[in-house]
Amino acid sequence: MSFWFFKRKEEDLAKKLNAYMQPIESSLKSSFSRIKQDMSVLSKSQKQIIEDSAYQKEINYQIIDRLEAIEQKLGIIESEPKENIHQITRIKQVQETQNSTKTPQQGQVPQGQYYQKFNADPWDSLTPVQRAILTKIGLLMTEGGQESIPIKYLAEELYPKKDYEDVRSMLSTYIDILIEFGLLTKKRKGRQTYVYLTDRGYSFQDTITKKKLKKPIKNHTENE
């Protein structure tokens, strides 16, 4: 009888203890679950912060590269702004004069007359950079046996240490001025834009180099 009494007491105590511990265990499980969720969120946030930091760093590098490219272009432009402005102004003035005096009987004013009005010696009207570009085009055409040069290839030859995108706009400006002078022409073929020496460009090169510059045979690979 005494044994049964104590056994009953133990069972009652165990039930009370179980009833007491069950909410605590449930609360602990819930707390650990929330902690685990919080740690997961923190881990994702930390990963996102790292990714954002790397992305921002890359953006900063790109901005710095672009600023350096702009600074370089400004440095070149600052060295020749007046020459370019004066060139374009004189060209436009002569073109306007030609257009105002042209009649159906007269036809277009000959190019020789245009340059006689424009400048007795066009070479003196070119800046050093423009002279270098024109000379490089002539050399590439004669040495390579081609009648045209891709602008992208010209950029690589003129600026071997620069990315094409960094010099494309600047080079295009110089080429447009040389086209205004009647020394170059350009034509797009497929994805490439090519520059050609005009007849005046060939004779102009001949005048500068003091030797005959023969027109090269057309390289048919550019049409493939």
Same domain flag for 54 and 147: no
Over 90: is that where the pLDDT of 150 sits?
Answer: yes
Same domain flag for 67 and 128: no
Taking the C-alpha atoms of residue 189 and residue 224, their distance in angstroms, rounded to an integer, is 10
> 63: part of which helix (H) or strand (E)?
helix 2-79
Same domain flag for 69 and 92: no
Confidence label for 212 from pLDDT (cuts 50, 70 and 90): very low
Same domain flag for 114 and 188: yes
Token pair recorded at residue 146 = 């081609």
What's the pLDDT tens digit per position in 48-77? 777 777 777 777 777 776 766 665 555 555
**Total domains in the fold of the chain:** 2
Q: What is the pLDDT of residue 151?
A: 92
Confidence label for 195 from pLDDT (cuts 50, 70 and 90): very high
Q: What is the CATH number of the domain that holds 189?
A: 1.10.10.10
Out of 41-50, 62-71, 140-149, 162-171, the most confident range is 162-171
Higher pLDDT, 120 or 153: 153
Same domain flag for 58 and 86: no
Q: What is the pLDDT of residue 153?
A: 92
Same domain flag for 69 and 88: no
Token pair recorded at residue 159 = 């600026």
Q: What is the pLDDT of residue 216?
A: 47
139: domain range?
Answer: 82-100+108-223
- Mean per-residue pLDDT, 95-122: 46
Write down how long the chain is: 224
Low-confidence winner among 16-30, 137-151, 175-189 (lowest mean pLDDT): 16-30
Same domain flag for 168 and 145: yes
Same domain flag for 158 and 74: no
Give the count of alpha carbons within 13 A of 31, CB side only.
Answer: 6
